[in-house]
Structure 1
Amino acid sequence: MTDDVWTEGAAIRLGGTGHAERVFRVQRAFADLGGDIHGPGALARASGLDDSAVYRILQTGVHLGVFERVGRGRYRLGTRTASMGIHALANAPGTTTRAVLDRLRETTDGGLAMLYVLAPFGGAQRQCIDMAVGDSDLGELGMTPREVLTVTRSLRTGASGRTILAHLPRAIQQRVLAEPVPTEAGPGAYQDNDALLRSLEQIREQGYATGFEECSPGWNSCAAPIMWGDLIMGSALLLKPATVMPHITDTVITATRKAAAELSAYARHPTPNQHL
């Protein structure tokens, strides 16, 4: 049986599982190599396939939007690949996702519970896609929509941002570290890149992050990663006023990690026909 071949406007019969495995190995090679753009030779070595097989897979992937050709003989993952990752988490049932955030608030006696994912546009940033705030609104809690949409997008500020950053490839981490600290960030934001890198290592080791007035003055936080296998999808965040939560207790840490674990399970096993 021959490999799958896509022609302009027509798909020739797909091969068996062996071909599918080779396609996934090429996709994974991009992540294993790090960086952004790679040639067929490097991808072949990283995936353990021969150059001709990788070249055919790349050509098919370019046609489908899974890969993009950059210049001559160079490729990167396409936007279709990113959208599939976002879709995996977005297919989690909305009411259940909100219920997870509500339980996080209830278990920890209030505050803001927020769900962040990697933003599909604008580079390596995060985006809040759901939150539970009880009967309050952001204004009453001392936060503005602008703060949610600006300073909290940076992966280098806040427990939720650093949690995501800790599980991204080193090349992306270096790109984020080259960015300036948002001017709106709180006094606890990491200004020193070496200290920030040490915090990322600690996050990976302990499975959660704590933040003290990083994104906004007067707010402390705890976050845990939402994973799909070994791929980072986002983070679950609990945010409270520093006057209410001057220290991050074991109860807060346990509840936040439990919420992130539940959301990770939904990312892996979405319920059919239900969406955010």
Structure 2
Amino acid sequence: MGNHITAPDAAAAATTATPAGPPPAGATVRRKPARRPRVTAGTARATGSSHAERVFLVQTAFAELGGSAHGPGEIAEFTGLDDSVVYRILQSGIYQRIFERVDRGLYRLRTSAAQLAFTALDHRLDGAASQMVLRELRMATDGGLAFLYMVAPFSGAQRQCVDMAVGDSDLAELGMTPRDVLSVTRSLRTGASGRTILAYLPQKVQQRVLAEPVPDQAGPGVYRDNDALSASLAEIRDLGHALGYEECMAGWNSCAAPIIWDGAIMGAVLLLKLKSVMPEAPDGVIEATKEAAAELSRHGAARPAADEV
């Protein structure tokens, strides 16, 4: 899941003060400083007014455009920067090990960018905190099975189960096999947690996921029609949660809510119960699931520095 950029008003261009008559000999004429173009907050394509801002715009473009590689022209069009400026930034970034050239005229972020991400995520959420939240969710839902899914870092647009609170249950009791875990539950187009994560990803990523086939092992309630699946994503963003009815496996219904850190989707909390016990998710289950996700979101969100409070 582009931003609309409004060209700066012509009146905002730099102007020069013109004296009413010729200046006296030896007098110094003071000129008004050129006004910088206004940058709209929160707009990824706003033209950077400094070199540092332009570099950040180019880096952000790779993330928002999606895909594996992009040329200077495509990045320039997306960011509103001149082609020559983008090319110089890319060339400099190669030597700084931020970008790499993968083909003639095509560039992508180096894996060193992932190291920055790992550093940023370090200590945001530990196992003790997530386990406590999931156990509380299990208790609040009368023994529901609570799972923590996060965006998978090495396998494209997929999800990965990183923690759970299921009591003495095991995969066999859930009707799942290890193969199911590596196929059905990893797809973002299946299950309440998958669709929850997908709902907050860039549109280009969503389209790529919608082009993927439905896993063969998916349950009878899986969304097979892409129009219906897309409509469900809009509903998730509107409601702040997703309900799943036998999507990943027969006989199990679910509720999921998003985990968002600093405006970016990181994962989802999933609450799973037998269809015979929960034919429809009651308000209490929905609110408990959303509160668990909100708590994990608070754990991962950046906190203002002391001098900013």
Report the TM range for the smaller structure's normalisation: 0.7 to 0.9
- 2:293 counterpart residue number: 260
Consecutive unaligned residues of structure 1, counting only runs of 5 or more, are 1-17, 271-276
Secondary structure at the aligned position of 1:210 is classed as strand
- 1:29 counterpart residue number: 61
Q: Which runs of 4+ in 1 moved over 6 A?
A: none
- 2:109 counterpart residue number: 77
Secondary structure at the aligned position of 2:173 is classed as coil
- 2:79 counterpart residue number: 47
- 2:163 counterpart residue number: 130
1:142 corresponds to which of 175, 187, 202:
175
**Would the alpha carbon gap of residues 179 and 26 (structure 1) be closer, same or farther in structure 2, given more than 3 Å must change?**
same
Instruction: Report the CA distance between 1:167 and its aligned residue.
Output: 1.1
Secondary structure at the aligned position of 1:128 is classed as strand
* Greater mean alpha carbon deviation, residues 193-202 or residues 55-64: 55-64
**Would the alpha carbon gap of residues 236 and 60 (structure 1) be closer, same or farther in structure 2, given more than 3 Å must change?**
farther
RMSD (Å), alpha carbons: 2.4
Question: For the Cα contact (< 8 Å) 1:34–1:170, is it kept in 2?
Answer: no
Higher relative contact order, chain-length normalized (CA < 8 Å, sep 6+): 1
Question: For the Cα contact (< 8 Å) 2:184–2:218, is it kept in 1?
Answer: yes
**Would the alpha carbon gap of residues 229 and 41 (structure 1) be closer, same or farther in structure 2, given more than 3 Å must change?**
same
The number of equivalent residue pairs is 254
TM-score normalised according to structure 2 size: 0.74
- 1:234 counterpart residue number: 267
Q: Distance in 1 between matches of 2:247 and 2:117?
A: 28
The structure with the largest alpha-carbon Rg is: 2
Consecutive unaligned residues of structure 2, counting only runs of 5 or more, are 1-49, 304-309
Secondary structure at the aligned position of 1:131 is classed as strand
Q: Deviations over 1:240-269 (max 9, x none)?
A: 111111111111111111111122222224
Secondary structure at the aligned position of 1:98 is classed as helix
Secondary structure at the aligned position of 1:142 is classed as coil
Q: Deviations over 1:206-241 (max 9, x none)?
A: 111110000010111111111122321111111111
Amino acid at match of 2:107: Y
Bigger proportion of residues as helix: 1
Question: For the Cα contact (< 8 Å) 1:226–1:234, is it kept in 2?
Answer: yes
